[in-house]
């Protein structure tokens, strides 16, 4: 009950009132509550949910289709993570080494529902959809794993090795997502750090990796923008 009252106070779910002033919830209100709960499960804040349900195309069918896609992606991610965890447990029990790529299968840069939502808000739906192919995701994940490996080995973010990785990352974005200027590339890297969802998702590869990549990108941009 307190939860519903809070939703009412913030204007997220405002019930009808009868002649005596008692609240009651219509079928439409119940449908909206289901939409809210789905988004909450996917990790969205109440503020973000309010923005979603208040947007121009906020029809129930659109929300259901959007949530289905996000949940299907989450299902695939969980299945993959279970397989990675099982293999990790097996490697511990049987004392065999997993490669870095094997250790991070399932920790992709686009698995998180909020990350995907933030990416669309930041860069536009067309760009995100273009960059959502399995090949591009695999390449970016490989690059992020290599950045994480370099960081763990103590290499400077502005080392030549990281410069080569940044050049490849820039090429991937330009050839597969959109015609990215160096200024755009710099802004994307800053977003890796400043946007909490981007940072959280990328730092799955290692604490501080988002800042490490950002520093490497800024060094690359400063050398090539002149």
pLDDT digits (tens, 9 = 90+) for 105-145: 665 555 555 555 555 555 555 555 455 555 577 788 888 88
How far apart CA 23 and CA 19 sit, in angstroms, is 10
Structure confidence at residue 82 (pLDDT): 85
Token digits of residue 110: 């686009």
Structure confidence at residue 218 (pLDDT): 95
Structure confidence at residue 125 (pLDDT): 54
Only one residue has tokens 């990328």, namely: 202
This prediction has a pTM of 0.53
How far apart CA 69 and CA 78 sit, in angstroms, is 14
List pLDDT tens digits, range 76-112.
777 877 887 888 888 888 888 877 667 666 655 555 5
Structure confidence at residue 5 (pLDDT): 83
* Structural domains for the chain: 2-54 (1.10.1660.10), 99-224 (1.10.490.50)
If we measure between CA atoms, which residue out of 94, 134, 130 comes closest to residue 111? 134
Highest mean pLDDT: which range of 6-10, 196-200, 209-213: 209-213
Token digits of residue 199: 């940072």
Integer CA distances (angstroms), 167 to 140, 164, 204, in order? 12, 5, 22
């Amino acid at each position: 009950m307190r939860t519903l009252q809070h939703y009412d106070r913030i204007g997220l779910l405002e019930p009808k009132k009868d002649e005596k002033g008692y609240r009651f919830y219509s079928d439409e209100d119940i449908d909206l509550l289901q939409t809210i709960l789905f988004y909450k499960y996917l990790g969205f804040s109440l503020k973000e949910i309010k923005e979603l349900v208040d947007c121009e195309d906020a029809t129930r069918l659109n929300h259901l289709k959007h949530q289905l896609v996000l949940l299907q992606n989450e299902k695939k991610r969980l299945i993959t993570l279970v397989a990675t965890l099982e293999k990790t447990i097996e490697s511990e029990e049987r004392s065999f080494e997993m490669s870095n790529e094997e250790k991070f299968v399932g920790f992709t840069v686009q698995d998180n529902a909020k990350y995907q939502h933030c990416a669309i808000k930041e860069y536009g739906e067309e760009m995100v959809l273009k960059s959502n192919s399995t090949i591009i995701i695999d390449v970016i994940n490989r690059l992020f794993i290599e950045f994480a490996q370099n960081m763990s080995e103590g290499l400077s973010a502005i080392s030549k090795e990281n410069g080569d990785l940044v050049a490849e990352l820039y090429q991937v974005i330009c050839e597969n997502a959109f015609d990215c200027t160096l200024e755009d590339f710099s802004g994307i890297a800053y977003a890796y750090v400043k946007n909490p969802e981007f940072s959280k998702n990328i730092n799955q590869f290692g604490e501080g990796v988002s800042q490490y990549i950002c520093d490497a990108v800024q060094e690359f941009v400063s050398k090539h923008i002149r």
